[in-house]
Chains A and B, each alone.
Chain A
Amino acid sequence: MSLLKYESQLREPLINGDKNYHQVTEDIIGPVETKPTRLWWIGFSIALMLLAFGVYSVYREVAYGITEWNITRTVGWGWDITNFVWWIGIGHAGTLISAILLLFGQKWRTGVNRAAEAMTIFAVMCAGMFPIFHMGRVWDGFFILPYPNSRGPVWPNFNSALLWDVFAVSTYFTISLLFWYTGLLPDLASIRDRAKTKFRKMFYGLTAFGWTGSTKHWQRQESLALVLAGLATPLVLSVHTIVSFDFATSVIPGWHTTIFPPYFVAGAIFSGFAMVQSLLIITRKVLHLEDYITIGHIEAMNKVIVLTGSIVGCAYLSELFIAWYSQNTYEWWAFRENRANIFSPYGWAYYGMIFCNVVSPQLFWSRKLRRNATFTFFMAVLVNVGMWFERFVIFVTSTYRDFLPSSWTTYYSPSIWEIGFYLGTFGLFFTCYFLFAKFFPVIAAAEIKAILKTSGENYKEKMSTIESMDSDKFYEEEMVHAH
């Protein structure tokens, strides 16, 4: 065993059980090669039904116009923008895990990165639906692209943060897709090489892109991953920063605050990790991957959740304090009367948000709770509900009472088609995720193999034997082994 692969015994193993390379392949690639289970079919059917409902809801909006939604003159974005920002936030964890944790050399990312990256792609797809269909005339959606045209005044406004969003989100999606696909290549080749049917050979042969596992291939793939990580790292920060600009650059009380960019980024990572937890806790159970997505992985992600949740909590307090301290009548009104006042029409949403996002994650300071998968699952769901409330509170409570009290009469609540659209994106997300879990390995088998001999339980046990050896004897043995 080479000394270079030494890892501290204090670190708990990232792969449990007596695993070798073949066993890793069997465990991870195996589910792709078997027929879908009954549970998979049930989940997939529900996802398809939700998707169908979403498609019909969108059809209503496109066919009959935006009045199918309950948005008003002041609450012009309503559920639409709430859901857009929520889904974009969900997507943040994938990029963070695949890019930032890669650059920081965090080995625990290997157990969760594949599913998180897939989740990012599906979440961004869902997010993109909302602004596209809010256009009303979706067939004119290409008007937002800046190319020479004869439409005269209909030209994208580069001063607008909304246009920057188009660039940011589309770039984010493309890079996430490339990252995901690049990482998949070695595993696709493994499936291709093990394929027994003609169709599987052809499909995985095409998608594996001629991967042979040669040194040249690995060298190219690793350099690709590094460049992508370099591109994706600023994107993690910039995408949600730009999303926050959609609001912060306006003059709406409750929106025009400079704290928005860091507040949105922290909130996005917070909700993204919560969604990764929800998905992976189910995935590891259903596909029997507990040895690869360990309690250690869950605990590491819970640490990120408690950190980002606390940042979000500080942001809530800061904006409340600054609203008061600024002595800006309108700003303070928006916070005091439209949010912090529990008896105001949306006071329940504000306190729901505080409970879910600030109070509940503090339970993760307890190591015992951090390492409890069932508790983590419920907490993750709670955080995602809370983060949805956060966006709802920001967008709706700032707009439903505007500067004119004469327009305060409306209490905004979504129509069935707005709800349907949101449920439809859940359908789209889970349909994609079910297909992904069926046809692609949910864990990066090649990357697991790369850390197996340093972080695998059985190898760490061997290392502890070596650690107990006399150092002179060990040196002699190593020298003999080396020559």
Chain B
Amino acid sequence: MQWLSKMKQLNNMKVYKYRKLVISLVLLLGISINTIQAQDSVVSKTQISISYFLPVTRVPYLEVNTRKKVGRKFEPVKNIPVDIYFNEAEPSNLLGKLITDSIGKGRIGLPPSFKNSWDSLNKFKFLAQTESSPGQEAISADITIKKAILTVDTASEDGARMVTAILKEKNGNDWVPVKDIDMRLAVKRMDGNLSVGDKDFYTSDTTGISSAEFKRDSIPGDQKVIVTLVAEVEDNDTYGNLVTEKTVDWGKAITTQKNFFTQRTLWAIRSGAPIWLLSAVWAIVIGIWGTIIYLVFQILKIRKLGV
């Protein structure tokens, strides 16, 4: 029974004392991995949401988003036909139909027929609804919006340039300021909006005003140094998405290089190679070919020695 005594010896070794702990950890890890894998393979039903947008330069529009949860992340659902209604899902209230695109989104502008309702009402309910189809249940979402208006302006305060935005909602026949609403005050750039100050959001006070100092002095404008200021209320439960803009001449003038394509650069054409490159190339060429010529003379000397 020599092997038995060997086993006992092994069991007495320090590492085997922790075997229970190791086995528990391995089991725990296995269970965790299984759970994660099980979660990853779960696919939820398609969900729908609707958002309201009021951009200053365009007609108000509604945006529908269809998606479903696959594992632990949401994935867009495309090609879903959606009907958009005002107030209730009645044919007479139909605002339009849309089909979601490859990223699961669809947009519809409020039609001219909606103008009377827009003018007379202060609160709107919009409804997005899909019909049931094979493999797809009917789903719907709604949003209730209070009519509001956002304006942006500029002011000067102790020599500093200020950007101010005022948010007002329609109450009866009056526009009243709205307080405690977060909004962005930004300057429009090519790939997004850049906050004019240090904070991302500014909150409106009791007069409905939020303001920030314009600190982007060195930001380039267009040829006439014009930049566009943007005030934006994002995804607010009561007012939806409001965007307004104002152009100001606060940008920095760009001095375009008239001779850009004729300067000496690595990407220049023909005779535009940088001086440092030319120097390096010629130094190498002259150095190596100088040595080669020297060596040829050395070979010629061999002949001289032999004659």
Q: Do A and B share a complex? A: yes
Give A contacts to B, CB under 8 Å.
Answer: 153-159, 164, 167, 171, 174-175, 178, 181-182, 185, 209-212, 214, 216-217, 220-221, 223-224, 227-228, 231
B306–A157 CB distance below 8 A? no
Asked if B298 is at the interface of the complex by the 8 Å CB criterion, the answer is yes
Report A-chain residues with C-beta under 8 Å of the C-beta of B267.
159
Select which of A155, A209, A214 is within 8 A of B270 by beta carbon: A155
A158–B299 CB distance below 8 A? no
**Chain A residue with minimal CB distance to B287?**
A231
B302–A210 CB distance below 8 A? yes
Report A-chain residues with C-beta under 8 Å of the C-beta of B292.
171, 174-175, 178, 231
B302–A164 CB distance below 8 A? no
With A158-B278, A171-B288, A228-B295 known to touch, is A221 a contact of B302 (CB < 8 Å)?
yes
B302–A231 CB distance below 8 A? no
Report B-chain residues with C-beta under 8 Å of the C-beta of A181.
299
A231–B306 CB distance below 8 A? no
- A174-B292, A181-B299 given; 7 more Cβ-contact pairs under 8 Å: A153-B270, A159-B266, A159-B273, A210-B303, A210-B306, A224-B299, A231-B292
B306–A212 CB distance below 8 A? yes
Select which of B273, B298, B299, B304 is within 8 A of A157 by beta carbon: B273
A167–B270 CB distance below 8 A? no
Report B-chain residues with C-beta under 8 Å of the C-beta of A210.
302-307
**Chain B residue with minimal CB distance to A220?**
B302
> Can you give 18 A-B contacts (C-beta < 8 A)?
A153-B270, A155-B270, A155-B271, A156-B270, A159-B272, A167-B281, A167-B284, A171-B289, A181-B299, A182-B299, A209-B299, A212-B306, A216-B305, A217-B302, A217-B306, A220-B302, A231-B288, A231-B292
Q: How far is the CA of A223 from the CA of B298 in the complex (A)?
A: 10
Q: How far is the CA of A299 from the CA of B305 in the complex (A)?
A: 41
Question: Which of A154, A164, A167 has the largest count of B CB atoms less than 10 A from its CB?
Answer: A167
Select which of A159, A164, A209, A214 is within 8 A of B303 by beta carbon: A209
Report A-chain residues with C-beta under 8 Å of the C-beta of B285.
167
Q: How far is the CA of A125 from the CA of B272 in the complex (A)?
A: 31
Q: How far is the CB of A265 from chain B (nearest CB, A)?
A: 18
Q: How far is the CA of A188 from the CA of B52 in the complex (A)?
A: 94
B277–A158 CB distance below 8 A? yes
Report A-chain residues with C-beta under 8 Å of the C-beta of B291.
227, 231
Tell me whether chain B's interface is mostly helix, strand or loop, or mixed.
Answer: helix
A164–B281 CB distance below 8 A? yes
Q: How far is the CB of A201 from chain B (nearest CB, A)?
A: 15
Select which of B273, B296, B304, B305 is within 8 A of A158 by beta carbon: B273
Q: How far is the CB of B213 from chain A (nearest CB, A)?
A: 40
**Chain A residue with minimal CB distance to B292?**
A174
Question: Which of B267, B274, B299 has the largest count of A CB atoms less than 10 A from its CB?
Answer: B299
Q: How far is the CB of A207 from chain B (nearest CB, A)?
A: 11
B305–A217 CB distance below 8 A? yes
Report A-chain residues with C-beta under 8 Å of the C-beta of B306.
209-212, 217
**Chain A residue with minimal CB distance to B272?**
A159
Q: How far is the CB of A121 from chain B (nearest CB, A)?
A: 15
**Chain A residue with minimal CB distance to B291?**
A231
Report A-chain residues with C-beta under 8 Å of the C-beta of B295.
178, 224, 227-228
Report B-chain residues with C-beta under 8 Å of the C-beta of A231.
288, 291-292
**Chain A residue with minimal CB distance to B277?**
A158
Report A-chain residues with C-beta under 8 Å of the C-beta of B307.
210
Q: How far is the CA of A181 from the CA of B278 in the complex (A)?
A: 32
Q: How far is the CA of A212 from the CA of B304 in the complex (A)?
A: 11
**Chain A residue with minimal CB distance to B278?**
A158
Report B-chain residues with C-beta under 8 Å of the C-beta of A220.
298, 301-302, 305
Question: Which of B268, B296, B301, B302 has the largest count of A CB atoms less than 10 A from its CB?
Answer: B302
A158–B289 CB distance below 8 A? no
Asked if B248 is at the interface of the complex by the 8 Å CB criterion, the answer is no
Asked if B219 is at the interface of the complex by the 8 Å CB criterion, the answer is no
Q: How far is the CA of A167 from the CA of B286 in the complex (A)?
A: 11
A-B pairs, 9 with minimum CB distance: A210-B306, A158-B273, A209-B303, A210-B303, A155-B270, A159-B273, A157-B270, A210-B307, A155-B271
Q: How far is the CA of A56 from the CA of B282 in the complex (A)?
A: 38
Asked if B160 is at the interface of the complex by the 8 Å CB criterion, the answer is no
Asked if B269 is at the interface of the complex by the 8 Å CB criterion, the answer is yes
B301–A157 CB distance below 8 A? no
Report A-chain residues with C-beta under 8 Å of the C-beta of B277.
158-159
Q: How far is the CA of A223 from the CA of B297 in the complex (A)?
A: 13
Q: How far is the CB of B98 from chain A (nearest CB, A)?
A: 30
Report B-chain residues with C-beta under 8 Å of the C-beta of A185.
302
Report A-chain residues with C-beta under 8 Å of the C-beta of B272.
159
Q: How far is the CB of B279 from chain A (nearest CB, A)?
A: 10
Report B-chain residues with C-beta under 8 Å of the C-beta of A217.
302, 305-306
Q: How far is the CA of A224 from the CA of B294 in the complex (A)?
A: 10
**Chain A residue with minimal CB distance to B269?**
A157
Q: How far is the CB of A404 from chain B (nearest CB, A)?
A: 22
Report B-chain residues with C-beta under 8 Å of the C-beta of A211.
302, 306
Report B-chain residues with C-beta under 8 Å of the C-beta of A156.
270
**Chain B residue with minimal CB distance to A181?**
B299
**Chain B residue with minimal CB distance to A158?**
B273
With A155-B270, A158-B277, A231-B291 known to touch, is A178 a contact of B305 (CB < 8 Å)?
no
Q: How far is the CA of A220 from the CA of B305 in the complex (A)?
A: 10
Report A-chain residues with C-beta under 8 Å of the C-beta of B269.
157
Report B-chain residues with C-beta under 8 Å of the C-beta of A209.
299, 302-303, 306
Report A-chain residues with C-beta under 8 Å of the C-beta of B296.
178
B301–A159 CB distance below 8 A? no
**Chain A residue with minimal CB distance to B306?**
A210
Q: How far is the CB of B295 from chain A (nearest CB, A)?
A: 6
Q: How far is the CA of A171 from the CA of B287 in the complex (A)?
A: 12
Report B-chain residues with C-beta under 8 Å of the C-beta of A157.
269-270, 273
Report B-chain residues with C-beta under 8 Å of the C-beta of A223.
298
